[in-house]
Amino acid sequence: MTDRDTRKFSRLVVDGAERSPNRAMLRAVGFTDEDFRRPQVGIASTWSRVTPCNLHIDGLAEAACWGVREAGGRDVLFNTITVSDGISMGSPGMRYSLVSREVIADSIETVAGAQGFDGLVAIGGCDKNMPGCVMALARLDRPAVFVYGGTIRPGAGRRDIVSVFEAVGRHAKGDLDDAGLAEIERTAIPGAGSCGGMYTANTMASAIEALGMSLPNSSAQEAVSDAKREDCRQAGAAVVRLLERGITPARILTREAFENAITAVIALGGSTNAVLHLLAIAHAARVPLELDDFTRIGRRVPVLADLKPSGKYLMSELVAIGGITPLMRMLLERGLLHGDCLTVTGRTLAENLAETGRYPAGQDIVRGFDDPIKPESHLVVLYGNLAPTGAVAKISGKEGLAFTGRACVFESEESCLQAILDGGIAPGSVIVIRYEGPKGGPGMREMLSPTAAIMGRGLGDSVALITDGRFSGGSHGFVVGHVTPEAAVGGPLALVEDGDTITIDAGKRELRLQLDEAVIEARRRAWKPPPLEVPPGVLAKYRRLVGSASEGAVTDG
């Protein structure tokens, strides 16, 4: 491969006498004569002090820069935004969470496109900046590696952020006093890194590795560790090798790669957000993927990892026994992964996993196929007269497979949360939170505060919750989100009234309002869209552009 091949984009910016002004600008940021002859690799950092998930990423980005230089490339470091789901959770600010995924993807695409980077390393540490990064890499289709910022270490008593949310419910019930709540608050989050269970961050990191876009075990390292810094250095070098071989995301992000990602998410018991984000990444990669693919794959893939929120263990404990690569080897040997998929190592998935060891004897974090947590997927796509175009349930099996109850309807997350904390939810209720979808919110907020309060209140086995919003990876219980069409566009969820009977049946994969169609049709004719006011700006733009959650809630058509 020639020098001009590895500098496919940067040469258009820096080569020739007419580009002297361009080079002058780059000299001011540290370029030398030799640098202009090297391929340029953009390092997209999501560092900020907004959240512990991204607090350390400045150091990781510098390690990636060193890796690029050592391999003969020229690094160019730049930043994009992040917002914190955990900090904005339960507040109006959470409306910006899913919006940030689009802003991140757009911003990385914009910088790389404008600057003429030949390749990219993108480093994400929190829920939305990971899919946002990979969406941008897919759109740009230049040699690239994604790096996960890493998981947080456990807090005192193996606590994490969900421990704090659930403590709020216990406090409201009277089972925890002010001092106890304050002690949990002060000790649950010990430092930098992403939330510690198989919540959305660790789920998406694992999915991206299974897609082939991260180096092996990048998804299973602690944030503050020598292993994570070395992962970043190797990622920088890997992009230069990808440039030399002409390997771009289009060769990696195939239909089979997405099937591998879905398989890994199911085996790990991952977040419902993976459905939304994998659909969006596939859209960016121009790969056909739909809700029913999760059902098809889910019928043959068991849940094997006993990880929080519904299980016992934290991600750092999985890291300690070898991470996710031994699990992926198990899945490959079982015939559940496509081993011939290309990865960012330049080798196939099977070739990468051939070097992987097995879990130590006696561990019970990851079970064998003869003793799964659940014999098929916990991610259950439901249809029915309440979800004509689909909804996504997270059914671990511990809460049963079916629930029928009386609707208790709320027009917002805040009003629902207050009712739960005040003791206003009776056992046997199906809580309905509507007008929280991509357009209705706008922004499709996560319902971790209500679901955690339900658990803290001791109602986890006696109520269900359905919404056109979505759930944090930390949510558990009998919960159904992503109900489509959403209420704001006249979806059936808008027609539910207090006291209606609703059935959720994971076995039949059905979400049904138990009313005659004539009654539903009469309500539909009488329904008027509520006044969903939003100030001018990014939320208004998002509401105009965003599509259905059943298609990934993307904004680029």
Q: Give the number of other CB atoms < 10 A from CB of residue 364.
A: 11
Tokens of 256: 């089979």
Q: How far apart are CA 433 and CA 431, in angstroms?
A: 7
- Residue 105 pairs in a beta bridge with none
Q: Cβ(41)–Cβ(236) under 8 Å?
A: yes
Burial class (CB in 10 A: 0-12, 13-18, 19+), 484: buried
Q: Cβ(347)–Cβ(280) under 8 Å?
A: no
Q: Show the DSSP H helices in 246-370 as ranges.
A: 249-252, 255-268, 273-285, 291-298, 315-320, 325-333, 349-353
Residue for token digits 């329904």? 527
> How would you classify the pairing of strands 74-79 and 40-45?
parallel
Phi, psi (5° rounding) for residue 518?
Answer: -65, -40
CA atoms within 13 A on the CB side of 107: 19
For residue 437, give the DSSP letter: S
Q: How far apart are CA 510 and CA 437, in angstroms?
A: 20
| Torsion of the alpha carbons at 267, 273, 279 and 282, rounded to the nearest 10 | -70
Please give the full DSSP string across 356-396, using - where no structure is assigned: ---PPTT--SB--TTS-SBSS-SEEEEEETTEEEEEEEE--
Residue 75 makes CB contacts below 8 A (sequence gap 6+) with 41, 43, 64, 65, 66, 68, 69, 236
Q: How far apart are CA 137 and CA 132, in angstroms?
A: 9
Phi, psi (5° rounding) for residue 307?
Answer: -110, 150
* φ/ψ bin of 32: left (φ > 0), alpha (ψ from -120 to 50), beta (otherwise): beta
CA 175 to chain centroid: 33
What stretch of H or E contains 78? strand 74-79
Q: Nearest CA to 265 among 255, 254, 275?
A: 275
Helix 291-298 to helix 273-285 angle (10° resolution) is 120
Annotated catalytic residues are 472
